[in-house]
Amino acid sequence: MTQNTTIGVIGSGAMGAGIAQVAAMAGHKVILHDNNVHALDKARKNMLATLQKLQAKGKIASADEILDNIQFAEKQQIMCDCGLIIEAIVENLDVKKAVFARVENMVSDTCILATNTSSLSVTSIAAACRIPSRVMGLHFFNPAPLMALVEVVPAIQTKPELVPMAAELMKAWGKTPVVAKDTPGFIVNRVARPFYGEAIRIMEEGIADLATIDWAMTEIGGFRMGPFTLTDYIGHDVNYVVTETVFQSFFYDPRYRPSFSQKRLLEAGWLGRKAGRGFYDYAEGAESPTPDRDEEKGRKIAERIIVMLINEAVDALHLGVASAADLETAMTKGVNYPKGLLAWCDEWGSGKCLSLLDALYNEYHEDRYRASALLRKQAMGNKKFV
Ligand SMILES: NC(=O)c1ccc[n+]([C@@H]2O[C@H](COP(=O)([O-])OP(=O)(O)OC[C@H]3O[C@@H](n4cnc5c(N)ncnc54)[C@H](O)[C@@H]3O)[C@@H](O)[C@H]2O)c1
């Protein structure tokens, strides 16, 4: 694939429009297709505004030149000469399968087909195609033009040579690719689950309130945002659904069990910042709760959540979801963690991490707190990951 390859993007929503912009800025001709003309219109307007801002800041030479590279198309047939098509439509397996099967009959046999799915099996999408070996996942993060990480996800049918080819292309687009096994949540959406789930659990148990947990994770943990501020920002419709999908896809492993606290927010329509109410109240004049800045309590909270994250990363390594280097890159570039979780484990020592987890397991007798076999092995050998 070269800069002359025409890129097709299906779906001009938040992700599709962002991906189209990235490809056009990298010099490709892009065809952005959506079956909703209003969505296409909105994408064009938003992109023009964004590109004009970049031009005013001197970050690009000409907004018009980049926009000229993109054809906004209501008709799918126009994508017949594309060398790569990235699908970013609604997160529904049946709809995605139908779109892939239809698109495949329009393009040449050498065209690569990629899905931006966050939570569906790439393998099952590939299975709907005549040539499953050309199908793969290219998982961008929101907003695609700003977030560096792209998870490259081969389905079990994907031709192995497509993986380095896609990774090179992502680098040419200024992105940082990592390779993830086709398992639920890939890397980031799997490993990050305890950041939300364990924080909610601590709040539900009454150990600390929202503001104190957020304070502990930012001030002591070093994260940019606390879990409640962040989920309010992401939106509970998005964050809860990812949690529920990951839980179901892992055959109901209790480690990923969603919480009633977050489900109730969703049911009430308290979707977060965008709804004016989530865990916190964003109404005008609403008071921001003050954290209880108890250092000892804060340290315990941060430690408990971080060790759960470390365990998830170690287990992902143990099960071959990604290499150690890619796990570290994914969590620092995809969700801006202050450091890689494996490096964090090395810093604390695998023995200490194991003791923290075993103490939680002994206290609760819940499978949720089981330590990864690899963490136990590391602790026994006193080994380091990175
Ligand atoms: N939003 C995120 O944070 C995020 C991050 C990474 C990946 N994703 C994934 O990216 C995909 C798109 O998400 P989004 O947030 O951009 O969704 P969105 O709802 O903003 O946009 C989806 C677009 O697809 C169009 N569409 C739906 N069915 C279509 C069809 N059959 N043919 C052509 N166009 C069709 C819709 O009109 C809409 O404009 C999903 O698979 C999602 O899981 C989302």
- Whether the per-residue pLDDT at 3 is higher than 90: the answer is no
CA distance 351 to 315: 16
Binned at pLDDT 50, 70 and 90, residue 154 comes out as very high
pLDDT at 1 > cutoff 90: no
Residue intervals in the chain for CATH 3.40.50.720? 7-179
Give the pLDDT score at 77.
Answer: 87
Length of the chain: 386
Question: Could you confirm whether domain 190-381 is CATH 1.10.600.10?
Answer: no
Counting from 1 in the atom list of ligand 1, the atom nearest the Cα of 98 is 31
Across 366-372, average pLDDT: 97
- The mean pLDDT of 46-65, rounded to a whole number, is 95
| Closest-lying ligand 1 atom to the alpha carbon of residue 140 | 6
Best residue among 76, 94, 102, 118 to mutate for probing ligand 1's pocket (most ligand atoms within 8 Å of CB) is 118
Task: Give the active site residues.
Answer: 118, 139, 151, 189
Residue of 19, 90, 244 to test ligand 1 pocket, by largest number of atoms within 8 Å of CB: 90
CB 31 within 8 A of CB 11: no
Tell me, in angstroms, the distance from the centre of ligand 1 to residue 34's CA.
10
pLDDT at site 2: 87
Q: What number does the ligand 1 atom closest to the CA of 15 have?
A: 16
Query: 288-296 — which CB contacts under 8 Å span 24+ positions?
Result: 288/211, 289/209, 289/210, 289/211, 290/211, 291/209, 291/211, 291/212, 291/214, 291/215, 291/216, 292/208, 292/209, 292/211, 292/212, 293/212, 293/215, 293/219, 294/212, 295/220
Q: Reply yes or no on whether the pLDDT at 258 is more than 90.
A: yes
Question: Which residues surround ligand 1 with Cβ inside 6 Å?
Answer: 10-16, 34-36, 39, 88-91, 95, 99, 116-118, 140-142
> What's the pTM?
0.95
For ligand 1, the distance from its centroid to the CA atom of residue 303, given in whole angstroms, is 36
Indicate the fold that domain 7-179 takes in CATH.
Rossmann fold (3.40.50)
**347 CA distance to ligand 1 centroid (A)?**
39
| Shortest-distance Cα residue to atom 15 of ligand 1 | 14
Which atom of ligand 1 is nearest to 11's Cα? 24
Percent of the chain whose pLDDT exceeds 70: 100
Sign (positive or negative) of CA dihedral 251, 256, 260, 262: negative
Residue 117 alpha carbon, nearest atom of ligand 1: 41
R_g (Cα) of the chain, nearest Å: 22
Average pLDDT over residues 305-323: 98
User: Is 119 a residue whose pLDDT tops 90?
Assistant: no
| Calpha distance 212→279 (Å, rounded) | 13
Q: Provide CATH 1.10.1040.50 ranges for the chain.
A: 190-381
Measured by CA distance, the residue closest to atom 8 of ligand 1 is 118
Q: Average pLDDT of the chain?
A: 96
In this structure, which residue's CA is closest to atom 29 in ligand 1?
A: 89
CA of 206 to the centre of ligand 1 (A): 38
Residue 383 is predicted with a pLDDT of: 86
78 in helix, strand or coil?
A: helix
In this predicted structure, what is the pLDDT of residue 19? 98
